[in-house]
Amino acid sequence: MHDRYDPDYLFVNGQCRAGWSLVVDPASALIVAAGPREDLQQAYPEATVHAWRGRLIMPGTINAHAHAFQHLARGQGVDRPFLQWRDDTLYRLAPHLDPDTLYQGSQWAFAEMLQAGITTVAEFFYVHGSTLDNDRAVIQAARDVGIRLIFARTFYDWEGAPAAYQETPELAVQRTQTLAAELSQDPTVNLHVAPHSLHGASDLMIQTAYALAQDLGVPCHIHVAEESFEVREVQARTGHTPVAHLAALGVLSPRTLAVHLVAITPEDIAILQDHGARWIYCPASNGFLGDGIPPLADLLAHGIPPALGTDGGCSNNRASIYDEMRTLALLHKGLHQDATVVTHRQVLEFGTKQGAEHLDIPAGDLQPGRLADFVGIDINHPSLIPWTAETLPANMVYAMQPEAIREVVVGGRQVVHEGVLTTVDQQRLGTQVQALVQHWFQ
Ligand SMILES: [Zn+2]
């Protein structure tokens, strides 16, 4: 049996195709066909039909960098310098985090992401505590809400951080291997490795993590040059910029997903290009924290396109990749005083196809063989009108409100219907989260 989705429009190869349908094989959770409705009616006559009237089907967006639990600190520590923000929010949040609170906080964040059209999230998780129970709670939250998860398990050994973050290299390897074995058969969760940063992990910790990523054959995520304090620190210690130091450590390659790259030099860009390293960009978070603006135009000119991330709920404070697309485009057009510096077509790709490529999953567009991860957008939502098939993509980037995203399917499973989560009671979850954090920050 197959499922056939009949929207008004299907977004394929950058175009909104009228009267096209999508056929999904629920057993493999893959797209098996995308094409004109009449052809697919003939080819798959037995398919269960989902008539999505008034909908445009888009690939789900890919959130390539997030810290879900930070949703519990939304509204805290705002309008402060980076290090003060870190101490006032993240470090005050740490003592309250256990499997139960992490489960609730992560569910809350993942639910909001799904409603915003995010079908995959890379959760960069570093509050491990003394067992694997915290990690498992976050993973279970993703499964229960129904979002596809890249669990980027962090390696962190800086002694100035809360105890719950810290592990020895040996312990981090052992635990990550245990988790990798547990997740090896999970169709909606992939494990990646993520040494935190040059300020959160020692050189040995970073090299150990990278070697494990090689062993496991998975990407290696790391925060790089998010803030100028990291550049000053690394330069004082090594005489190199963070990017040059990572190259010297032997951990820069196409396997490396460098998150942020805000405070970098033209020489750094050449090094990144030479090593084939990839980039994850979090425009709203970099702005919120006053980190700065990465040299997007130069990076693009050197063949380094970004995937997009929302980052945490207390450094953004939204959870939408469409929002990141819009923020990125407006920011760089304004910065360069040039409206052509980046286009809506490019940012749509950053948030879908590029994200999937960087995270090494077959998603991000609606082709046969890709994962059945897609969303149904209400083309008659007030924020999109007026539109034509040609202007819809631009309207989605520049005009659309999240409420226009009505249906969300992840791995062939419908997890949002008519804007409402089918997997968890979001209202009840909100009441729980509101009660949970009431006295945490007083
Ligand atoms: Zn981050």
Domain 3-59+365-426, CATH 3.90.78.10 — does that match?
A: no
Rounded (5°) CA angle 224-105-294? 20
CATH number of 61-359: 3.20.20.140
Q: What pLDDT is recorded for position 442?
A: 79
Report the alpha-carbon distance of residue 80 to residue 290 in Å, rounded: 9
Q: What pLDDT is recorded for position 122?
A: 98
Q: Could you tell me the distance, in angstroms and rounded to a whole number, from the CA of residue 27 to the centre of ligand 1? A: 35
Residues paired with 21 in a beta bridge: 35
Task: Give per-residue burial for 25-41: e unless 16+ CB within 10 Å, then b.
Answer: beeebbbbbbbebeebe
Q: Could you tell me the distance, in angstroms and rounded to a whole number, from the CA of residue 303 to the centre of ligand 1? A: 23
| DSSP strand pairing (405-410 vs 413-417) | antiparallel
Q: Could you tell me the distance, in angstroms and rounded to a whole number, from the CA of residue 310 to the centre of ligand 1? A: 9
Q: Could you tell me the distance, in angstroms and rounded to a whole number, from the CA of residue 65 to the centre of ligand 1? A: 6
Please tell me if the domain spanning 3-59+365-426 has the same topology as the one spanning 61-359: no
Q: Could you tell me the distance, in angstroms and rounded to a whole number, from the CA of residue 20 to the centre of ligand 1? A: 39
Question: What type of residue sits at position 83?
Answer: L
Q: What pLDDT is recorded for position 31?
A: 98
Q: Could you tell me the distance, in angstroms and rounded to a whole number, from the CA of residue 67 to the centre of ligand 1? A: 6
Q: What pLDDT is recorded for position 88?
A: 87
- Show the low-confidence residues of the chain (pLDDT under 50): none
What interhelical angle do 133-145 and 99-115 show, nearest 10?
A: 30
Q: Could you tell me the distance, in angstroms and rounded to a whole number, from the CA of residue 312 to the centre of ligand 1? A: 7
Q: Could you tell me the distance, in angstroms and rounded to a whole number, from the CA of residue 416 to the centre of ligand 1? A: 27
Q: What pLDDT is recorded for position 295?
A: 98
Q: Could you tell me the distance, in angstroms and rounded to a whole number, from the CA of residue 260 to the centre of ligand 1? A: 8
| The pair of three-digit structure tokens given for residue 5, joined into one six-digit string | 């989705």
| The pair of three-digit structure tokens given for residue 171, joined into one six-digit string | 């312990």
Q: Could you tell me the distance, in angstroms and rounded to a whole number, from the CA of residue 124 to the centre of ligand 1? A: 7
Where are the domains positioned within the chain?
3-59+365-426, 61-359
CA distances from 161 to 87, 207, 406, 418 (A): 9, 20, 41, 43
Q: Could you tell me the distance, in angstroms and rounded to a whole number, from the CA of residue 40 to the centre of ligand 1? A: 43
Q: Could you tell me the distance, in angstroms and rounded to a whole number, from the CA of residue 154 to the centre of ligand 1? A: 11
